[in-house]
Amino acid sequence: MSIEETSRFVRLRVELVLEVEDDGEVTRAALRRLAADPELPDDERAQAESSVTEDTAEALAYLVDPFDLVGEVPGVELQQASWSTERIDYDPDSPDWDLDEEDDEKEDEGDEA
């Protein structure tokens, strides 16, 4: 396939595991960002404030913006993004947390063809 025939779109998958050391600090940062957003309607602001106050994972979801990750990358424009957060049990020594596991499975599937 020549360069002209390949897609210009690239899916970038990122998985992060964060350790929250101070729930209150994360919540306060999310509330500050909400307060500074002039385009957020009052009813949506109230709901968002409630969500980030009740759940630190929601506060993180509000603070982490995919555009911030690629906004300064030259030559690219973010077309679509989705992200979510959840509380998890994490053991870095567990084989269940092998970040390359998904890639290994894809390679195995490719060997079967």
List, for residues 45-87, the tens digit of each pLDDT value: 999 999 999 999 999 998 998 888 898 999 999 999 988 888 8
**pLDDT at residue 107 tops 90:** no
Q: What is the pLDDT of residue 113?
A: 45
User: Whole domain around residue 75: which residue ranges?
Assistant: 3-112
Q: What is the pLDDT of residue 31?
A: 97
Model pTM score: 0.70
Please tell me the total count of domains within the chain.
1
Distance, in Å, from the CA atom of 94 to the CA atom of 101, rounded to the nearest integer, reads 12
| Cβ atoms 52, 32 nearer than 8 A | no
Distance, in Å, from the CA atom of 26 to the CA atom of 58, rounded to the nearest integer, reads 10
